Chain A
Amino acid sequence: MSTTQNILRPAQRTDMAPAESIPWVRYALSTLALLIIALFLILPLVAVLFEAFREGVGAYVDAITDPYTGHAILLTLITALICVPLNTLFGIAAAWCIARFQFPGRSLLTTLIDLPFSVSPVIAGLVFILIFGSQGWFGGWFAGHGFPIIFALPGIVLATMFVTLPFVARELIPLMQEQGAEQEEASIMLGASAWRMFWTITLPRIKWGLLYGIILCNARAMGEFGAVSVVSGHIRGATNTLPLHVEILYNEYQFSAAFAVATLLAGLAIVTLIIKSIVEWRQQRQWENASS
Chain B
Amino acid sequence: MSIQVNHLTKRYGDFTALDDIDLAIDDGELVALLGPSGCGKTTLLRSIAGMEFADSGNILLEGRDMTFEPIRHRQVGFVFQHYALFNHMSVFENVAYGLRVRPRAQRPPEAEIRRRVHELLDLVQLDWLAKRFPPQLSGGQRQRIALARALAVEPRYLLLDEPFGALDASVRKELRRWLRRLHEELHVTSLFVTHDQEEAMEVASRIVVMNHGRIEQVGTPETVYDYPATPFVSTFIGSVNVLHGTLRDGHFDTGGWHLPIPDADANLRSRRQDAFVRPHDIEIVRAPDTPWPVRIRHVQPMGSSYHVEVTPVTDTVQGPQVENDYLTVELTRQAFKALALEVGEVVGIRVHHLHWFHQETAPALEEAV
* A interface list, Cβ under 8 A from B: 182-183, 185-193, 196, 200-201, 204-205, 289-292
- Closest chain A residue to B70, Cβ basis: A188
- B77 at the binding interface (Cβ < 8 Å): yes
Q: A190-B149, A289-B133, A292-B135 are in contact. Are A201 and B86 (CB under 8 A)?
A: yes
Once the chains bind, are B153 and A191 in contact (CB under 8 Å)? Answer: yes
Q: Known contacts A182-B82, A183-B86; decide if A190 and B133 are in contact (CB<8 Å).
A: no
Which residue of chain A has the shortest Cβ distance to B75 in the bound complex?
Answer: A191
State the majority secondary structure of interface residues on A. helix
Smallest CB–CB gap between B202 and chain A, Å? 26
Question: Which chain A residues border B77 with CB–CB below 8 Å?
Answer: 189
Known contacts: A191-B153, A201-B86, A292-B135. The answer to whether A186 contacts B80 by CB under 8 A is yes
In the assembled complex, which residues on chain A have CB atoms less than 8 Å from the CB atom of B133?
Answer: 289
Note all chain B residues with C-beta closer than 8 A to A185: 51, 78, 80, 84
Could you tell me if A190 and B84 are in contact, using CB atoms closer than 8 angstroms? no
Listed stretches B95-103, B218-226, B251-259, B335-343; interface member: B95-103
B102 — nearest CB in chain A belongs to which residue? A191
Total contacts A to B, CB within 8 angstroms? 60
Residues from chain A with Cβ under 8 Å of B49 in the complex: 189
B72 within 8 A of A: yes
Establish whether residues A191 and B88, one from each chain, have CB atoms under 8 Å apart when the complex forms: no
Q: How far is the CB of A194 from chain B (nearest CB, A)?
A: 10
Tell me the B80-113 residues at the A interface (CB within 8 Å).
80, 82, 84-88, 97-98, 101-102
Contact call B80/A182, Cβ cutoff below 8 A: yes
> Is the pair A190, B135 in contact by a Cβ cutoff of 8 Å?
no
Query: Which chain B residues (33-74) contact chain A, with CB distance < 8 Å?
Result: 49, 51, 71-72
B87 lies within 8 A of A189 (CB): no
B242 interface hit (Cβ, 8 Å)? no
Contacts of A204 on B, CB cut-off 8 Å? Answer: 88
CB-CB < 8 A to A191: which residues of B? 72, 98, 101-102, 153
What separation, in Å, do the CA atoms of A183 and B85 have in the docked complex? 6
Lowest 9 A-B CB distances belong to which pairs?
A190-B98, A192-B101, A186-B84, A182-B84, A189-B78, A191-B72, A204-B88, A183-B84, A290-B87
Residues of A within 8 A of B97 (CB): 187, 190, 192, 200
- Residues A200 and B101 in contact, CB atoms below 8 Å apart: yes
Q: Taking the nearest CB of chain A, how far is it from the CB of B116, in angstroms?
A: 13
CB distance from A122 to the nearest CB of B (A): 43
A189 touches B71 (CB 8 A): yes
23 interchain pairs, CB-CB under 8 A = A182-B80, A182-B82, A182-B84, A183-B84, A183-B86, A185-B78, A185-B80, A186-B78, A186-B80, A187-B86, A187-B97, A189-B76, A189-B77, A189-B150, A191-B101, A191-B102, A191-B153, A192-B101, A193-B101, A200-B86, A289-B87, A289-B135, A292-B135
- Give bound CA distance, A184 to B80, whole Å: 12
Query: Given the complex of chains A and B, what is the CA–CA distance between A191 and B84 in angstroms?
Result: 15
Cα-based distance from A186 to B161 in the complex (angstroms) = 12
Given A183-B84, A290-B87: A188 and B135 within 8 A (CB)? no
**Minimal beta-carbon separation of A207 from chain B (angstroms):** 9
| Bound-complex Cα distance A286 to B88 (A) | 9
Task: Write the chain B residue with the least CB distance to A288.
Answer: B135
Distance in angstroms from B10 CB to nearest chain A CB is 15
Q: How far is the CA of A190 from the CA of B149 in the complex (A)?
A: 8
Please tell me if the beta carbons of A205 and B78 are within 8 angstroms of each other in the complex: no
Besides A182-B84, A190-B153, A200-B86, 16 other A-B contacts (C-beta < 8 A): A185-B78, A186-B80, A187-B97, A189-B76, A190-B150, A191-B98, A191-B101, A192-B101, A200-B97, A204-B88, A205-B88, A289-B87, A289-B133, A289-B135, A290-B87, A290-B135
Q: Which residues of A contact B71 (CB under 8 A)?
A: 188-189
B86: which A residues are within 8 A, CB to CB? Answer: 183, 186-187, 200-201
Contact with A along B119-155 (1 / 0, CB 8 A): 0000000000000010110000000000001101100
Complex Cα gap A85–B149 (Å) = 36
Q: Is B80 within 8 A of A291, CB to CB?
A: no
CA–CA, A290 and B87, complex, Å = 7
The answer to whether A190 touches B101, judged by C-beta atoms less than 8 angstroms apart, is yes
Complex-state Cα separation, A185 to B135, whole angstroms: 19
